[in-house]
Amino acid sequence: MRSYLKLIKLDNLLIIALAQLCLKYGLFEPFGIDITLNHFGIFLLILSTVLIAGAGNIIIEIYNRETSDPKNLLYGSISEKSANKLFIILNVIGVSIGFYLANMIGRPGFAAIFIIVSGIFYVYASYLKEIVVLKNCIPAILAGLSLIVIGVFDLLPAITPKNKASQTVIFSIILDYALFSFIIVVLREILKDCLHMDRDHNIQIRTIPVILGKSRTIKLIGVLTALPIACVFIYIYTYLFSNTEAVLFVLSLIIAPLLYFMIKCFYSESDKSLRHLSLVLKGILVTTSFSLLLYQFVLK
């Protein structure tokens, strides 16, 4: 069981579910805005998202193996045949739930989102991961989409001429968080490429570290960290400046870790250090999700 949890990347799936829950119950519910999904509906949407993402993680792991020998077990105990079966099962259940939800809200066309995302995971694992830069952006786009889909299913169908202004404000916040998540996941994906540089070289996948070298790439990550830092400062000025507690929360639990991460990038090269930096980014994603709970005290 432990091997299967590692295969689907349970920790990453829990972060996705946490962010979606914080959107629903930290941003939507407190303001009493018009929504489409009830508690059961949001549970199904989160479940569908997590299942499809888990299936995507499986197919990526299958294609990331350094050998094509089917006897080479994933995580020491899972055969390729078993992994492929689980990939199909999770996809079928996830897409089926998506179809049900799309019809439940009267927007059957929205079901295409789940099919497209499922397809992108497969194409990414089999082909797109060999394209420099794009291989880092696709997982980040899908991470941002996991937030946007909450707005698409819960907010858009409930928009009317009377509530359009308030719905638009909330949806713009979702887009901002999706953009921030995109940037953080891109940094984390490049960092993971540094950790897997030898494997990628062996299976002839061109990545940024393979092209630029490990040391230069890590320093590049440090420079790029200025982007999310700038985004957060702009956000503080726009939404949180009048609330001291909210500003302190963001400065201490988002800005400070980002600055720490940025500085460490210029002095870290060992795999142990890079794994630590990856955990820092994961922690930032978690605290960013919790920051959604602040808006009920800020936007009054």
Cβ–Cβ < 8 Å for 159, 167: yes
Which amino acid is located at 192 in the chain?
K
- Domain locations in the chain as residue ranges: 2-221
Mean pLDDT of 112-121: 94
Cβ–Cβ < 8 Å for 97, 47: yes
pLDDT value, residue 18: 96
Cβ–Cβ < 8 Å for 291, 239: no
Q: Which range in 56-60, 93-97, 134-138, 267-271 is most confidently predicted, on average pLDDT?
A: 93-97
Helix axes 164-195, 226-235, angle to 10 degrees: 160
* SS3 (DSSP) at 74: strand
Q: Which residues pair with 74 in a beta bridge?
A: 78
Instruction: Assess whether pLDDT exceeds 70 at residue 168.
Output: yes
Cβ–Cβ < 8 Å for 171, 152: no
pLDDT value, residue 51: 96
Cβ–Cβ < 8 Å for 136, 190: yes
In 3D, which of 114, 75, 108, 76 has the Cα closest to residue 95?
Answer: 114
**Of the ranges 16-30, 120-134, 165-179, 215-229, which one carries the lowest mean pLDDT score?**
120-134
The maximal CA–CA distance of the chain, rounded, in angstroms, is: 61
The count of residues in the chain is 300
pTM for this entry: 0.93
End-to-end Cα, the chain, rounded Å: 46
Cβ–Cβ < 8 Å for 298, 240: yes
Tell me which of 268 and 18 has the higher pLDDT: 18
pLDDT value, residue 300: 57
pLDDT value, residue 206: 86
Cα 19 from Cα 29, distance rounded (Å): 14
In 3D, which of 247, 246, 248, 254 has the Cα closest to residue 281?
Answer: 254
Cα 219 from Cα 194, distance rounded (Å): 11
pLDDT value, residue 283: 96
Which tens digit of pLDDT belongs to each residue from 170-184? Answer: 899 999 999 999 999
- Confidence band of 67 (pLDDT split at 50, 70, 90): low
Which tens digit of pLDDT belongs to each residue from 197-210? Answer: 888 888 788 899 99
Cα 46 from Cα 216, distance rounded (Å): 38
- Burial (CB count <10 Å: 0-12, 13-18, 19+), residue 260: middle
- Confidence band of 114 (pLDDT split at 50, 70, 90): very high
pLDDT value, residue 201: 81
How far apart, in Å, are the Cα atoms of 153 and each of 21, 34, 103, 140, 290?
Answer: 14, 12, 11, 20, 21
Which amino acid is located at 114 in the chain?
F
- Confidence band of 195 (pLDDT split at 50, 70, 90): very high
State the chain's mean pLDDT as an integer: 89
DSSP assigned state of 268: -
